[in-house]
Structure 1
Amino acid sequence: MSQIERQNHFAAAPPVARPAPFIAPRRLKAHRITSDAEAIAIARELATEFAKGAADRDRARRLPIAEIERFSQSGLWGITVPKEYGGAGVSAVTLAEVIAIIAAADGSLGQIPQNHLYIVEGVRLGASEEQKQVLFQRVLDGDRFGNAFTEIGTRRNVDFTTRIERSGDGYVLNGQKFYSTGALFAHVIVAIANDAEKRSNFVFLERATAGLNLIDDWNGFGQRTTGSGTSTFDDIPVSEFQVVPHQIVFDRPTPMGPVAQIIHAAIDLGIARAALADTIAFTKTHARPYLETDYQHGSDDPHVIAAVGDLALRVHSADALTERAGRYTDIAIADPNEATVAAASIAVAEARAITTEVSLHVSSKLFELTGARSTSDQYGFDRHWRNARTHTLHDPVRYKYVNVGNYYLSDTLPPRHGAL
């Protein structure tokens, strides 16, 4: 086989482009959550609903439009709006737990609001007072922000070619994004674009804006229903009010990076919890003893018992490190400076490292402990590993270990970025 033939043989099939779903303008105001405890309680209630159809949605790659509407109308998409603007201003510990609870029910549903919440934090840190008043109110009322951040074809994923160029009293936006997680479900699309000084900005666009095109062409083998497709922007006029500076939140010590990253850790933690729960439930009800033993049931095998104990310890360790990272992030939010932001970044890096490893390990070990029967498509257990493998590729965990080691060995502060 020639080199060209080999390339063609292994080339990925082009993604199938589907029309973006119709998302009706919001008609009702979302519920207003007022406390951390209420946020946790509502997340648990929703998780019970969302878990029921998770495997079927994944299998059919059915976009969870009704579920997303229920999710945002519950008020959970507004829990990080500061109290002085009418929100609950929940702790980072609570934020991570809410996302982990939802991700355990459905990994895709856990990921979809990640960028919305990132944008809310970006508004808190970078927007003008007038912009905060308007945008926070929209979030509390139930409007969803969808991201148009990441591009391909550049040296790094933060080397944006999408541009806003001066035109009269405003700008003109042009560009294309490859990953737009949440945009298909959003009322407002938020693009990251560089200005003439090559500094990044949020650009807020109403979903129906002329020149904005959303394409449902995400074909990853995991996180199938996140709607992480393509978005394009063709000569779109943009006013000053629609632009929120974003680079500035990394020019100084802010909790932007830790907040973004702890949500990612929580998604993987939720997937690990779900894989562990399915391992335990299936082992109890279906696992058969190995033919060389005399055990009555597979769950009586001490090798299986020890392995399940090991998985539980790993998941509980990930729980503890994620909660710890939330506490450090809360300190950085209350008092952002070089020391507190660095400490939060390192604590979150540790949580990201362990949740990455644990989500992949538990979702793979599930099949070893439960046997060939568990690979049946009727159970959909494979989605845990596919979701974990896909989501953990957002940000290479190998750099987390380097940053953590440098911090403790040489007092080197970690870089400030959101690692979108």
Structure 2
Amino acid sequence: MRTPKKSAIRTASAAAHRPADDEIWPRVTRELADDLAVDALVRDRTGTAPFDEVARLQEAGLPALLTAPGADGRGADWRTACGVIREIAAADGSIGELLAHHYVLSWTTRFLGPAAGPLDLAVRTAQERWLLAGAVEPPRADPGPLGLTLTPAGGGAYVLDGRRAFASGVTVADRLVVGARCTETGDLLPVLVDPARPAVRTDPGTERVGQRLAGAGTVTFDRVTVDAAQVLGALPHDEHAVAPYSTLAPLALRLLLVHVGLGIAEGALAEARDFSRASQAAPSPAAGGAGPSGDDPYLLLAYGELATSAHTAAAVVERATDVLAHGLLAERALDVEERADIAVLVAAAETVANRAAVDITTRILQLVDPATTLDPHRTGPGFDRFWRNVRALTAPVSPDHRLRDIGDHYLHGTHARLTLLA
């Protein structure tokens, strides 16, 4: 779990070699996380769009992490990206979520492979210093009122219409990557859009219970012209025709968000520990102010249980991270069986870590003084923000669905359906 002044980035045993430049990421991430942690509570209570936070990310170079040049010409790997996100989320869960979406979107053309055009979005994003937001996978109600459509306009161009809500980044993004259905073929076409265009309107999301600094919002596209060069590829309407590797994109996003939730829980636990240490070091009223209050055995028991829960969740999450990283390296050689195994481990990590994060952040509210936690004047330590952030992340995920899929695979060997839905 994350502790102050110490990196939470893990080094997987399967990683036999790292590029030399990759050695700097733990230090850079730790410094940025410490910086974000200093004013995290104040920024959460202010709730403004995270332009300053994005500037801090850009200054540290983290949005380009997966494409930064290494000694062997390659960027940092996905294990490093997961560790970076977890470290940042421990300091500020909203910024961890924002970065998670950016990383997956930056690999859109790589996930599409031969179905993509000549543009390598990750490289272009690093060159232009873009922060990406949006979503390629269709909303679960698609083609409902919040779906996006692309109407052919000749010459490879399209007209983009529709309205869709996004969980992260759209209020501060330099570019949007969105998936829209072609009205002619039914294929899902990921496109790159400049949110500064007059025909694009972004309305900030103000009702989210947590992750208030993630830049959530609803974007309306009103007959936006999309040139052929802005079309990043195509995913067939028939999901059975989609390559297993392409369907790793939603799994990658799910696992990165699991790291966000686990990072939030680890950050909450570390802050609660420091709070309890400071409280125990204070003079005890019962001792006439002469010495510390001593160790409460029930408090020790509670921290023992919470620390064990965090360690257990971390072990499951890191196993899933290892397997996903191997799948990403396999690229087009990945088969359906291997993709199914990855999906099961990601679902297991999601279930275990989400439950642990909710439990840890809930019980922490019982370990600190409720009077300060629920202070109407908002002058207390603000531990409620960790619980709110975890709930905002985990509420949309149904553990029953994940457990059913795991059980079906374990009992019957059923392959998880190849799907573009997260």
> With structure 1 as the length reference, what TM-score do the two structures score?
0.83
Q: Distance in 1 between matches of 2:359 and 2:200?
A: 40
Amino acid of the structure 2 residue aligned with 1:247: L
Q: Distance in 1 between matches of 2:21 and 2:309?
A: 30
Percent of residue pairs bearing the same amino acid type: 25
CA contact (8 A) 1:87 1:140 kept: no
CA contact (8 A) 1:151 1:178 kept: no
Query: Aligned residue for 1:326?
Result: 321
Match for 1:252 among 235, 243, 252? 243
CA contact (8 A) 1:126 1:248 kept: no
CA contact (8 A) 1:200 1:247 kept: yes
**Superposition deviation, residue 82 in structure 1:** 8.5
**Superposition deviation, residue 73 in structure 1:** 3.4
Are residues 1:113 and 2:99 paired? yes
CA contact (8 A) 1:363 1:384 kept: yes
Q: Distance in 1 between matches of 2:355 and 2:162?
A: 35
SS in 2 for 1:178: strand
> With structure 2 as the length reference, what TM-score do the two structures score?
0.83
Query: Aligned residue for 1:271?
Result: 264
Match for 1:72 among 50, 58, 63? 58
Q: Distance in 2 between matches of 1:176 and 1:273?
A: 36
RMSD of the alignment, in Å?
A: 3.0
In structure 1, the gaps of 5 or more residues are 1-32
Amino acid of the structure 2 residue aligned with 1:360: V
**Superposition deviation, residue 280 in structure 1:** 1.1
Count matched residues: 383
Query: Aligned residue for 1:46?
Result: 32
Post-superposition Cα deviations, 1:78-119, rounded to whole Å, max 9, x if no partner, equal: 2223979x9743333222111010000001011112222121
Counterparts of residues 262-301 of structure 1 (less than 5 Å): 262-286=255-279, 300-301=295-296
Amino acid of the structure 1 residue aligned with 2:134: N
Query: Aligned residue for 1:351?
Result: 349
Q: Distance in 1 between matches of 2:73 and 2:382?
A: 37
In structure 2, the gaps of 5 or more residues are 1-18
CA contact (8 A) 2:146 2:163 kept: no
Query: Aligned residue for 1:405?
Result: 407
Q: Distance in 2 between matches of 1:151 and 1:347?
A: 23
Match for 1:136 among 123, 132, 157? 123
Post-superposition Cα deviations, 1:144-175, rounded to whole Å, max 9, x if no partner, equal: 111156888x7469996310001121110100
CA contact (8 A) 1:116 1:146 kept: yes
Are residues 1:212 and 2:200 paired? yes
CA contact (8 A) 1:144 1:186 kept: yes
Match for 1:93 among 76, 79, 85? 79
After superposition, the Cα gap between the structure-2 partners of 1:311 and 1:324, relative to the gap in structure 1 and judged at 3 Å, is same
Match for 2:416 among 408, 414, 417? 414
Counterparts of residues 372-411 of structure 1 (less than 5 Å): 372-375=370-373, 376=375, 377-378=378-379, 379-411=381-413
Q: Distance in 1 between matches of 2:344 and 2:390?
A: 22
Query: Aligned residue for 2:181?
Result: 194
SS in 2 for 1:323: helix
After superposition, the Cα gap between the structure-2 partners of 1:142 and 1:298, relative to the gap in structure 1 and judged at 3 Å, is farther
